[in-house]
Amino acid sequence: MLCGPWRRCRGRPEEPPMSARVAAPLELPPSSPECGARRPGLRALKKMGLTEDEDVRAMLRGSRLCKIRSRTWHKERLYRLQEDGLSVWFQRRIPRAPSKHIFFVQHIEAVREGHQSEGLRRFGAAFAPARCLTIAFKGRRKNLDLAAPTAEEAQCWVRGLAKLRARLDAMNQRERLDHWIHCYLHRADSDQDSKMSFKEIKSLLRMVNVDMNDMYAYRLFKECDHSNNERLEGAEIEEFLRRLLKRPELEELFHRYSGEDRVLSAPELLEFLQDQGEAGASLARAQQLIQTYELNETAKQHELMTLDGFMMYLLSPEGAALDAAHTCVFQDMDQPLTHYFISSSHNTYLTDSQIGGPSSTEAYVRAFAQGCRCVELDCWEGPGGEPIIYHGHTLTSKILFRDVVQAVRDHAFTLSPYPVILSLENHCGLEQQAAMARHLRTILGDMLVTQVLDPQNPEALPSPEQLKGRVLVKGKKLPAARSEDGRVLSDREEEEEEEEEEEEAAEQRRQTKQISPELSALVVYCCATPLRSLGPGPDPSQPCQVSSLSERKAKKLTREAGNSFVRHNMQQLTRVYPLGLRMNSANYSPQEMWNSGCQLVALNFQTPGYEMDLNAGRFLINGQCGYVLKPTCLRQPDSTFDPECPGPPRTILTVQVLTAQQLPKLNAEKPNSIVDPLVRVEIHGVPADCARRETSYVLNNGFNPHWGQTLQFQLRAPELALVRFVVEDYDTTSPNDFVGQFTLPLSSLKQGYRHIHLLSKDGASLAPATLFVHVRIQGS
C-alpha cells in the first residue's frame, strides 16, 4: 500500500461502474478532422497485438452507422474505437458527459449479424440483412441495432469486435492491470509528448482513485526523475508505475516462504500450497505452477518462481476465492429434477416494471444468457387468432407468443445444455390455446418433450442429464373427469392469483376456466397443481406435480412447517414468485426459499440488486448451467432438517480483509472525487446464520487501500450459506455508495490467501478491481 498522509475529499455523487473511467474524447462535430483516426499513440492496442489488424484499424478510423430504434427513428451516428481497444465512442445528438458517449467491449454479451434481434426484425426491413448488426449488452442496457453503409463495413465491426472480445478474454489479470494503467497514463499526458510533468502525475493519481499528499507524491516523482529535468519519460515512467503498483502485502507473503534468495523453489512453493489447504498439493503440482505462471525464462528453467510469477499465480483463476474446479459442471446431473435448485425467472418478458414497462423477446435472450432455465410466458388472447404475451390489465407492451417460442428455440441452449421449463400462465380461450400448442410443436420440434421418457415408470421425474437439449411445458393437465361438452374444466394456476383474492372468488374463476386437449397433451412432467396441504392425505403428492406459491405463502410454510415443507420439496417441484404488489418489479430474497428446498425460485431478472446478486452467486458454480444440486439434507427422504431450527454451530468462517486494488472511481467527471472504501462480508443462509460484518473505511484511497481487519462468523447450516463480499464508498451524511461485489457459495470458497474479482451492479466485471483476503474455514 502507498503510505503517507491522505487528504479528505468530500462529495461523491453516484456514478457508473468502473469501466466508465477510461478516457473518452470530447464530442466532436462530424466535419472535424479529428473524427477520423486520432492521435498516433497506440501503446494500449500494441499491447493487445491488434494494431496491424485491418478490421481494428477501420474501427479506429470510425464509421457512420445508422442507429435503428423504430420504424421511423433511423439516425446516422459516428462510432469509433478508442485507442485503449476497450471502449467505443459514439456521437449523440445532444452532447453529454464524456462517460455517456462510450460503451465497453467487456460489457458486450454478443454481436449478432443480420436481422437477429427483435428490433431489426420489426424495424430493419429497409436495410439489407448483410449490412446490419446488433450489439447486445450485459445487464439492463438496451441492444444497439445498427446498419452500416456497406456489407463489408458491417463485417469489419462484427469481426473487429469479435477479435477485441477474444483478446480481452485471453488477457490475464496482470495484463489487464498493465493495459488499464497505460490507458490512464495516455489520458493524463495532456500535451501528448510522452513525458509526464508532476502536474500530469498528480492528474494520473486522481484518475486512478488515489489522493496522495503533495510532498509524498513529489518525493516519489523525484526518486524516479533520474534526468533531473522535472519530467518523467521512458524508463522513468515505467519505474514510477512499478512503484505505484507495488503490493507490499504480497512481497511480505512471498518473502515469508522464499527466504534470503528471494525466489521460490518448487519445495517452498509446495509448502505455501499446503498452508493454503490446496487439494492435490504435490511437488509435481508446484512445478506445474512454476511452468505456467513464471515470466522469467531463466527462473523457469531452474524451477524457480520470482515475485512476478507469484503475483501472476495469485491473480489467476487458480488463486481466486472461487474454487476453479467448481466453474465447470462437476455435480451429479443424473438425479431427479426435484433434487436441484433451478435458476428461474418471473415475468421474463418484461424489461422494466410490471405496470408500464416494455415486453420483449430480448428479455428471454438475456435471461438465458444469465443461466436461467425456467422462464414465464403470460399468455393472453391476441388479434387474428394469435396469442400474445404481456402483463395482463396493465400498460406493458405486447409481443407474439410464437416470437417468444422462436427465441427459446434459438437461444435456450446457447450457454447451457440442460432442460428449459416454460411456465405457462394461461389466460387464453380454447382456440388460441390450440394455437399455442401448434406453435410449440412446429417451432420447437424434437426439442419439445411430448411423452414420458420411461413408459415403465411414467410418474418418475427424469434427470437434467436425461433431458439435455429438451424443453418442458409447465401448465394444467386434463384430469380424467370431463364436462358435458367433452372439454375438461381446469383449476386456474395459483400464480395467476398474484393478489391472493378471497378463496370464494378464486373458486368461481376455477369453475369458468377451460383448457384445450392440444395444450394439455404437452404437459408431461410439470403439471401445475394447487398445494392443498403438506401432510399425508388421501391424494399423495406426485413427482410430476408442480405447485406455484407466492413469496408470502412460501415464507409462511417455511416458518410454520419447516421440515414438512422440506420433505414436500424432495418429492415434487415448487415454484415461488414475487407478490403482485411489487409494482416496480422489485425482488424478494431467494435464500429463505432455498433453505426449505424450493427449486424454482423465480425472480425479476431485469431488476438488479442484492437479490439478483444472491441468485447469480447460487448459480455461479457447476458451469453456470442453471442447475445446482441441493445439499444432502434437502434430498434425503428421512431428513429431519428444519431451516428454522438448524441445530448448534458447526463451522467457523474467518475472513481477514487485507487490501483492495484499483477500485472503480465512482464519478468519472469529477477528478477530485475519491472513494473512501469499506468492505462488508455478508452471510446469507438459514435465519440463524444470516449476519454481516464490516471493516472501517479508508480515507481517499480507492487505488490500494489497506485494512488488515478480521471478520468472523459461526454457521449452523454451512451447506446452504452464500458469502457476499461488498465494497462501498463510505459517506457520513448519506447512505454509502455501492462500489462492487462478489457472491459465491461457502462450499465453493477456497481457503488461504485469495483474490476476489469484483463485479458491478449488473454483474459485469470491474477488472482489474480486486479484494485480497485470507480465508479460514474450521469445523467445530
Residue numbers annotated as active site: 346, 391
CA 566 to each of CA 389, 560, 574: distance values in angstroms, whole numbers, following the listed order: 34, 12, 11
CA 690 to each of CA 97, 492, 683, 685, 726: distance values in angstroms, whole numbers, following the listed order: 41, 37, 5, 6, 15
Between the CA atoms of 366, 368, 369 and 372, what dihedral angle is there, to the nearest 10 degrees?
A: 110
CA 452 to each of CA 437, 449, 471, 474, 777: distance values in angstroms, whole numbers, following the listed order: 17, 8, 13, 14, 45
Neighbouring C-beta atoms of residue 32, cutoff 10 Å = 11
489 Cβ neighbours under 8 A, 6+ residues apart: 483, 510, 511, 513, 514
Instruction: Check if the beta carbon of residue 204 is closer than 8 Å to that of residue 188.
Output: yes
How many CA within 13 A on the CB side of residue 186? 22
Instruction: Check if the beta carbon of residue 447 is closer than 8 Å to that of residue 409.
Output: yes
CA pair distance 780, 767, nearest whole angstrom:
36
Say which residue the cell 378464486 belongs to. Answer: 506
CA pair distance 420, 186, nearest whole angstrom:
47
Backbone angles phi, psi at 358, to 5 degrees: -75, 145
Instruction: Check if the beta carbon of residue 558 is closer than 8 Å to that of residue 644.
Output: yes
β-bridge mates for residue 765, sequence order: 759
E-strand ranges in 142-191 read: 144-147
User: What percent of the residues of the chain are helix, what percent strand, and what percent coil, each to the nearest 5?
Assistant: 35, 25, 45
As a whole number of Å, the CA-based R_g of the chain is 28
Instruction: Check if the beta carbon of residue 209 is closer than 8 Å to that of residue 700.
Output: no
Indicate the residue type of 144.
L
β-bridge mates for residue 145, sequence order: 134
C-alpha cell read off for 764: 459485469
CA pair distance 591, 610, nearest whole angstrom:
11
627 Cβ neighbours under 8 A, 6+ residues apart: 331, 333, 340, 341, 342, 343, 373, 416, 418, 464
CA 230 to each of CA 92, 199, 218, 223: distance values in angstroms, whole numbers, following the listed order: 40, 10, 10, 11
Say which residue the cell 442507429 belongs to. Answer: 67
Of 752, 760, 759, 773, whose CA–CA distance to 707 is shortest? 773
